Amino acid sequence: MHTTSTCRTVAIFTAALLIGIGLPVAAHAQAPFQPLNAPATNEHRPGKFVWADLFTTDPVAATKFYSGLFGWTANIIIQNGRTYTVFSNGSRPVAGLAPRPSSKGNRPSRWISYVAVTDMSATLKLVTKAGGKIRAEARNFPQRGIQAIIADNEGSTVGLLQSSSGDSADDEPKPGDFNWFELFVSQPQTASDFYRQVINYDVAPDLRTERKNDFVLSSGGLARAGVAPLPDREDADAGWLAVVRVANLDETLGRAVTLGGEVILSPREAAYESRFAIVADSTGGTIGLVEYVNNANPANRP
């Protein structure tokens, strides 16, 4: 799609709809993506998950849901003739929303999380060598950096980002921030080996569980993500689950249902004195929620 008056009209109409339903939406304009860090830094943390995008055929409903669930603000920009929404938690951008063409059917929304890399070209070569596939070729976005989307050797989709402004710091995630990332697959050992080869993760058994096929992926001395076997359910799908920290899990679940979502996994106790649940948003996207009972700091994970 090219930047035309029609496109601008659609963007303005979309923003008007959002404002009309009472969502916190900032003014939009032809603008580059926001950088991960402003001012830019030279700090890079390969293996850290630094961004997430929601791909959806219903951006209005998805924006309403996540703004209401987490208190995120939504800033609509026009990038190369297409609208893109940046979600911010307070003053910090934390995620994006990219509309899918509705002509391809009413598919459920899907979160894709991005792992920091320092050399995109070299990383993509490792992807194919390790049995993965490139789903979206590397593209350079002004101020943001170089992005690509791949599928691992188990078919699960994940993004890669070579940030042009440095990677986000290893601070304690606040409520409304992404806190953890978990990969559910049929063969956890095989998937873990893929990410060790491609991202250079340190892979170790997850000693917090009694299962022998749970793994932790670490880089820079910090745990970045987990790999676990698929739940024993017919409707279980392989893939990455992004988890957001919340201040009160029960209240957040109540808001999710009120906003048209569904509780997929009821609250249960998890590691580091936390409580965990999974919800589907009002457009079918799946996201995890975690509450730390005693304010545990995920950055201090062994």
Which of 113, 36, 151, 114 minimizes the C-alpha distance to 287?
Answer: 113
Residue 210 is predicted with a pLDDT of: 66
Q: Is the separation of the CB atoms in 187 and 131 below 8 Å?
A: no
CATH number assigned to the domain comprising residue 195: 3.10.180.10
Residue 104 is predicted with a pLDDT of: 59
pLDDT per residue as tens digits for the range 198-227: 999 999 998 877 677 899 999 999 999 999
Band of the pLDDT at 261, cuts 50, 70, 90? very high
The residues with which 123 forms a beta bridge, in sequence order, are none
Q: Is the separation of the CB atoms in 86 and 28 below 8 Å?
A: no
The number of CA neighbours under 13 Å toward the Cβ of 26 is 16
Band of the pLDDT at 271, cuts 50, 70, 90? confident
The verdict on residue 199 lying in a domain is: yes
pTM value?
0.86
The verdict on residue 266 lying in a domain is: yes
> Does 4 score more than 60 pLDDT?
no
For 195: left if phi > 0, alpha if psi spans -120 to 50, otherwise beta; the answer is alpha
Instruction: Please tell me the distance from the alpha carbon of residue 201 to that of residue 193, in angstroms, as a whole number.
Output: 9
Instruction: Please tell me the distance from the alpha carbon of residue 81 to that of residue 103, in angstroms, as a whole number.
Output: 18
pLDDT per residue as tens digits for the range 52-72: 999 999 999 999 999 999 999
> Does 29 score more than 60 pLDDT?
no
Q: Residue 282 is part of which domain span? A: 178-300
Question: In sequence order, which residues have a C-beta less than 8 Å from that of residue 122 and are 6 or more positions away?
Answer: none
Give me the residue label for tokens 């026009």.
78
Q: Is the separation of the CB atoms in 86 and 27 below 8 Å?
A: no
> Count of domains in the chain?
1
The verdict on residue 237 lying in a domain is: yes
Instruction: Please tell me the distance from the alpha carbon of residue 251 to that of residue 291, in angstroms, as a whole number.
Output: 11
Helix 188-199 vs helix 120-129: crossing angle, to nearest 10: 150
Q: Tell me the Cα Rg of the chain.
A: 19
The verdict on residue 87 lying in a domain is: no
The dihedrals phi and psi of 258, each to the nearest 5 degrees, come to: -60, -35
Give the SS3 label for residue 195.
helix
> Does 30 score more than 80 pLDDT?
no
Between 280 and 16, the more confident residue is 280
Residue 211 is predicted with a pLDDT of: 72
Between 107 and 193, the more confident residue is 193
The verdict on residue 183 lying in a domain is: yes
The verdict on residue 150 lying in a domain is: no
Angle at Cα 15 formed by Cα 14 and Cα 19, nearest 5°? 120
The two most distant CA atoms of the chain are separated, in Å, by 59
The verdict on residue 135 lying in a domain is: no
101-110, 249-258, 284-293: least confidently modelled range: 101-110
Which of 297, 263, 301, 302 minimizes the C-alpha distance to 282?
Answer: 263
Question: In sequence order, which residues have a C-beta less than 8 Å from that of residue 198 and are 6 or more positions away?
Answer: 123, 126, 127, 130, 132, 152
Q: Is the separation of the CB atoms in 23 and 65 below 8 Å?
A: no
Question: In sequence order, which residues have a C-beta less than 8 Å from that of residue 200 and are 6 or more positions away?
Answer: 46, 47, 219
The verdict on residue 258 lying in a domain is: yes
Angle at Cα 231 formed by Cα 148 and Cα 178, nearest 5°? 45
Taking 3-state DSSP, the helix, strand and coil percentages for the chain, each rounded to the nearest 5, stand at: 20, 40, 40
Mean pLDDT of 231-255: 91
Residue 1 is predicted with a pLDDT of: 31
> Does 12 score more than 60 pLDDT?
no
Residue percentage of the chain with pLDDT more than 70: 85
Helices (H) and strands (E) in the chain, counts: 5, 17
